[in-house]
Amino acid sequence: MSREQRIRVDEILRQPAPEGPRSVEEIRAGFRQLMAQMIVPHHSIRTAPTTLGDRPALRVEPAQAPGRGPDGGPGTGTILYFHGGGWVFGSPETALSLTGNLVARTGLGAYSPDYRLAPEHPFPAAIEDTLSAYRALLDRGEDPSAIVFAGDSAGGGLAVTTCLAARDADLPLPAAVLAFSPGTDATRTGESMDTKEGIDPIFTRTALEHTGAMYLAGADPHQPLLSPAVHADLTGLPPMLIQVGANEVLLDDSTRLAARARAAGVDVILDVTADVPHVFQSFAGVLDEADEALDRAALFLRQRIHAAATART
């Protein structure tokens, strides 16, 4: 772990903020520019556009022979990956450093749906699209015990809320949920919203409320599908791994989600890394902590897929 690496990442993220709120177009362009700097393991994966549940999606597969993991072992299974971006910006392409690294490290194939974004399509459009993507996998015959949900930031929140929506629709649940710095409290009541202000190099309360209002579009933020960390019944959800950085204003979105999951009897791991920012895993190849966290995440996914396969036999 390198203090110099963490300082460098903080400098990259701590860019001078423009005065006043930015337009949606400016926010989206700035995020694309930031994520274009991330290292994607192109030599270890192959990608192709596809559709899933009537929405465009990106298919990401290991570069080696299908069905084999990077260590030569079984790689059978599917990651359904939900990209981040505050439900307002981002795409499967901007998340490719994360999806690609999970695919490369697990040997599993992935689909990343291009769900609809606010403000053009506010809540609950994103959840409708991610649930539709999951239904599409089930309808084509994929075993739910060989599917895992994963996502970062807003997409991490969607990994949780899509699971809730699937449970409430009486669908079989996936084998696991992996959430990187998930957004799970639209009420913004976590103490870290204030205690990490200024420490977080990316977010402020004002910025989060600006984009959050676009997604809410007047909806009550106290709904379980908007604030699962404080208002959802998580009973019956599959094992969860939540990874978060200690420097995040959204830190308590993760800590309270984990506590609520534990209270509901869910097998949950809360993995907090010191002195790193929101979705620090994006900096794989630059930040040692990012690569180490992705290794832990990949191990978790492989173990859950293996446990489900063992149970089936």
| Residues acting as catalytic residues | 153, 248, 278
Q: How far apart are CA 86 and CA 35, in angstroms?
A: 14
Name the one residue in this structure whose structure tokens are 């895992």: 148
Encoded tokens for 308: 């489900």
Strands (E), 205-257: 240-245
Amino acid in the structure at residue 19: E
Host H or E run for residue 56 = strand 55-62
Q: Residue 172's Cα: distance from chain center in Å? A: 21
Tokens 């604030």, residue?
A: 227
Q: 16 — alpha (psi -120 to 50), left (phi > 0) or beta?
A: beta
What residues contact 59, with CB distance under 8 A and at least 6 apart? 47, 48, 49, 50, 109, 110, 111
What DSSP assignment string belongs to 105-130? Answer: HH--EEEEE----TTTS-TTHHHHHH
**What is the β-pairing status of strands 109-113 and 55-62?**
antiparallel
Please give the Cα distance from 283 to 58 (Å, whole number).
21
Q: Which of 115, 113, 109 is nearest to 60 (CA)?
A: 109
Q: 178 and 159 in contact (C-beta within 8 Å)?
A: yes
